[in-house]
Structure 1
């Protein structure tokens, strides 16, 4: 019965443009009533709040003996009582046994408020009726005043809408707009103009496709627009809108109604929220990094010199190039510069140019537009935009692809860039700090790095010394790390003895501070009762204390001699075990070190098995 009722309602003129889904909601709000022959349904000059649909029977609309119209099954009357508090302009009387469906004003207004499909269908029907007022006037010549009242009500409903309402024919000629549409189009004289001229190419193609489909399809069109619509006003203002499209009428009297809502401010707000969310994420990562760092310990004059340069350059906006071996703490220097700068209340955004695939680094740095490449399903803000008004740290700058370097040069020189897939130029105010372990000048001479970019980056160079060249700092840093790891791992605090310090300072530290950190963490983990056997932790102590090692008790070896001695000792162990590294009777067991440590030392010392 419910489906039959929906089908019945779809043929009622007042509800003919309402979708099936909304008709189902309407059906749930209806009640029925029965009238006998000559029974009055309502009288003229009474205030009504109900609309009627004739289910079966006949009803006359009249003023005393003057009959305006005779209605039968499928006709409706009293609909204006749903939208105003005016008195009835005529009486309604059943001419025979009649059953009607009724909808109350409160239920109707509730559907209009909460069901956009219902309200859009009612609007489309009212607009259609608005176009047919001349015919109604001919049929109801004596009801001219009522027609004017009806027209005013419908016009008020349309003109008072904050959404833009545009009605056009199958040739895309505009036949009706409301003030909101004229404001959106930035034009008061749009009637009979082609509606597609007010859209960008993509939006015009979308509307054209939907209309052509609607013309070919005999059924009613009543859809949400599948994508946003960009409207271009007469003053060249671009706005982004969402909305619905519906079809009314048939044949040459077919019309389409667009209802558009400007969502520009909402999108800007959403974009700001996304940007702030990303910045928050980066800041959380930065805080995490900061809380796990060890600061910069500088007792040695070479490190003090580097920190003095930090103090000198921090308050400026000069581009800084930090050079040093891997693991020396270049990032800590960059953080120190940002912290002392005038931008310290803005984000420090970091990116490792060597850790991101070459085909993704441009998008990562400068962002991309939706559809710029395969997989780009949404627009993305690059790290330069995230760093606006702050600092960006480009670690391992020497690994940046050569073809991307001109774009970075443009940012440094002009402070602007174009996201991938976009013709829009974005201006940024970013302080650039770069770091590398490579000789960029030498790489520029070999064509692997742009020479002009090198000089732009090398405005203020800072050299971070290797840990082996900071003998005074090694034990200070080690003790600080021991204290932190002991607290973190709930271990007894370990204090370095003179013998421990001698072992630490005698090691070459090819991995610098990062290697020291890893070894200290391992040492604290395996410590027992505040004691550590450093000879099992530091790789080359085994070389120094091996019974076959020709180390004089009187002569101090240089770091180069220690490396040579370690390499010879490892080679000797590998030869004796026939190059078996791990397992029983392997070289690691012979050297009394973990197989992973031995493998690391073989790689670091570039030891290769002879063919």
Structure 2
């Protein structure tokens, strides 16, 4: 039944330019109605909300005693009620038993909004009707009011369109434009001018080739295969997408270009992509946070750091954070950004030691499509993402020497060139760098540019190691216990004096990060609200020497087994250069599934040395 309705509507002039696919959307909510002979379908001056297509039978269009015309099977009436709220311009009655298909305005408008092909087809028909107004006037000479009303509606539809509508003849001479077209062309006097003069060479060739290729066809209605560039009379260049339609033949051939300015959309898409990238980076940063505990400080050494943060935060000075691995340098950087005047803009982080040397330049400064193998699209670097905000360059000491002049240029001039581009981009970025290395010694040894070191070292902050922070160790540990207990749904354990003594006695070579790992493990293995810290905290020696007595077997404790397994895995990882899976990976060497080995590495807190 639906296929029959589609075929039926395809034969109605009002839908002649609409595809069958779009007509299937239209028939989803239409209904049939029957009228007996002389039954009134609607009266003149009533406000309508539907159009009608005659399935069989016939109707008359009249006003009082004057009959304007009669309509029969395959014709439609009342279609303007689909696009406005104006009163009916004539009355309609059935001349015989008549069946009609009723299409309501709201459903029609819904399809217009959701199906651009349907909307384009209807607009093409409306434009065609506009050209046929002269013949309509001859046939309806006695209905001047009807003609004026129809013309007003059509002109309103065309002139009110946001898209540019340009009609031209077989000689490419412009014969009609709407205000949107005049604005796009930057000219109110374009009639009889060659339409191709308003396009760049490539776009003009495209339109000309389409017209010539379609010369032998009675009509065309197709999307332009490429974006076209309009060059206005004031030499402004605007990118557009659009459709081209053809009607008539010979000297009476006409073409209609409907163009849509996509400059704003491209700018919006570009902004969305930028915001999406920023969001992506920010989400990554949140996931990579070493903790969510903030900076806890009662020790004087750390209070000095907090005081330095307050002093420098409100300035735009470059900050260099020094400290051992795992001391919380990133938390210091985040605290500076949070307290700065840029805190409503992004803080973008990049670990200079975690990205391969051949990729870090692209990661920092971005690249143009085709700049190198694999660069299939333009990429915005992290400096551009951090514009008006802050960038945190972690492990700055690992930045390749050949890349350091570019960083120096940004600090000095606030500008850089993306990889593969000659375009210079200006940015306003506050730089915070961090390192566990002695950059001064590095610069003297030729491993780091001395001029860059002095540029970064404007405001140095030294983050003390955990073992130098006294009772802060216990404060941080207790807060971590509370956090992990909530996360793992375990009872919160309070540290005893003996527990605190054990924590304070340990050297914490891995600093806060090591403390976090040990606390998480302690909470996981805690039983009935108690933690055996002596089994969790390692001995002060780097490893436990396990001697085999040839004459006496030694029973290993669970902790010794853990240490032994950790040392064995480390040996395998070092031997395979930290490759886990594959033919030459540590998993095969240990005869373990790669996923199992990865889990053990995480559980044992094994980290690859920098």
Q: Does 1:480 align with 2:449?
A: no
Distance 1:248 1:296, change over 3 A: same
Instruction: Measure the CA separation in 1 of the matches of 2:515 and 2:124.
Output: 75
Displacement after TM superposition at 1:373 (Å): 7.5
Instruction: Measure the CA separation in 1 of the matches of 2:371 and 2:292.
Output: 38
Displacement after TM superposition at 1:324 (Å): 3.1
Instruction: Measure the CA separation in 2 of the matches of 1:33 and 1:536.
Output: 90
Equivalent residue for 2:186? Answer: 186
Instruction: Measure the CA separation in 2 of the matches of 1:93 and 1:597.
Output: 93
Equivalent residue for 2:111? Answer: 114
SS in 2 for 1:221: strand
Counterparts of residues 243-262 of structure 1 (less than 5 Å): 244-250=243-249, 253-262=252-261
Kept in 2: contact 1:111–1:118 (CA 8 A): no
Question: What is the total number of aligned residue pairs between the two structures?
Answer: 558
Displacement after TM superposition at 1:347 (Å): 3.8
Instruction: Measure the CA separation in 1 of the matches of 2:105 and 2:570.
Output: 82
Instruction: Measure the CA separation in 2 of the matches of 1:226 and 1:243.
Output: 9
Instruction: Measure the CA separation in 2 of the matches of 1:501 and 1:518.
Output: 16
Displacement after TM superposition at 1:221 (Å): 2.4
Counterparts of residues 583-602 of structure 1 (less than 5 Å): 594-599=563-568
Displacement after TM superposition at 1:164 (Å): 2.7
Instruction: Measure the CA separation in 2 of the matches of 1:498 and 1:55.
Output: 90
Q: Deviations over 1:551-585 (max 9, x none)?
A: xxxxxxxxxxxxxxx68x85xx58x699xxxxx98
Counterparts of residues 217-296 of structure 1 (less than 5 Å): 220-221=220-221, 233-235=232-234, 244-250=243-249, 253-262=252-261, 289=289, 292-293=292-293, 295=295
Instruction: Measure the CA separation in 1 of the matches of 2:559 and 2:117.
Output: 81
Equivalent residue for 1:398? Answer: 397
Q: Deviations over 1:495-535 (max 9, x none)?
A: 35499459835x4x543443344345445655677564648
Unaligned runs of 5+ in 2: 486-490, 578-610
Instruction: Measure the CA separation in 1 of the matches of 2:26 and 2:105.
Output: 8
Single out whichever of 45-54 and 522-531 deviates more from structure 2: 45-54
Displacement after TM superposition at 1:17 (Å): 1.9
Equivalent residue for 1:550? Answer: none
Instruction: Measure the CA separation in 2 of the matches of 1:435 and 1:80.
Output: 69
Equivalent residue for 1:493? Answer: 494
Displacement after TM superposition at 1:456 (Å): 2.8
Equivalent residue for 1:460? Answer: 459
SS in 1 for 2:336: helix
Instruction: Measure the CA separation in 1 of the matches of 2:397 and 2:292.
Output: 27
Counterparts of residues 91-102 of structure 1 (less than 5 Å): 102=100
Distance 1:15 1:435, change over 3 A: same
Distance 1:173 1:8, change over 3 A: farther
Single out whichever of 159-168 and 47-56 deviates more from structure 2: 47-56
Instruction: Measure the CA separation in 1 of the matches of 2:549 and 2:426.
Output: 63
Kept in 2: contact 1:478–1:520 (CA 8 A): no
Equivalent residue for 1:126? Answer: 126
Q: Deviations over 1:321-347 (max 9, x none)?
A: 223332233223323433443434544
Equivalent residue for 2:505? Answer: 504
RMSD over aligned CA atoms reads 5.6
TM-score (ref. length: structure 1): 0.68
Kept in 2: contact 1:481–1:520 (CA 8 A): no
Instruction: Measure the CA separation in 2 of the matches of 1:43 and 1:540.
Output: 97
Equivalent residue for 1:320? Answer: 319
Distance 1:122 1:458, change over 3 A: same
Counterparts of residues 377-396 of structure 1 (less than 5 Å): 382-396=381-395
Unaligned runs of 5+ in 1: 542-565, 579-583
Equivalent residue for 1:434? Answer: 433
Kept in 2: contact 1:388–1:428 (CA 8 A): yes
Instruction: Measure the CA separation in 2 of the matches of 1:120 and 1:540.
Output: 78
Distance 1:111 1:441, change over 3 A: same
Equivalent residue for 1:158? Answer: 158
Instruction: Measure the CA separation in 1 of the matches of 2:296 and 2:94.
Output: 96
Displacement after TM superposition at 1:3 (Å): 4.3
Kept in 1: contact 2:23–2:118 (CA 8 A): yes
Displacement after TM superposition at 1:178 (Å): 0.9
Distance 1:321 1:19, change over 3 A: same
Instruction: Measure the CA separation in 1 of the matches of 2:253 and 2:107.
Output: 29
Instruction: Measure the CA separation in 2 of the matches of 1:47 and 1:321.
Output: 78
Instruction: Measure the CA separation in 2 of the matches of 1:530 and 1:26.
Output: 70
Displacement after TM superposition at 1:231 (Å): 5.2
SS in 2 for 1:292: coil
Counterparts of residues 551-570 of structure 1 (less than 5 Å): 570=545
Distance 1:158 1:420, change over 3 A: farther
Distance 1:55 1:442, change over 3 A: same
Instruction: Measure the CA separation in 1 of the matches of 2:290 and 2:42.
Output: 82
Counterparts of residues 141-180 of structure 1 (less than 5 Å): 150-169=150-169, 173-180=173-180
Displacement after TM superposition at 1:595 (Å): 1.9
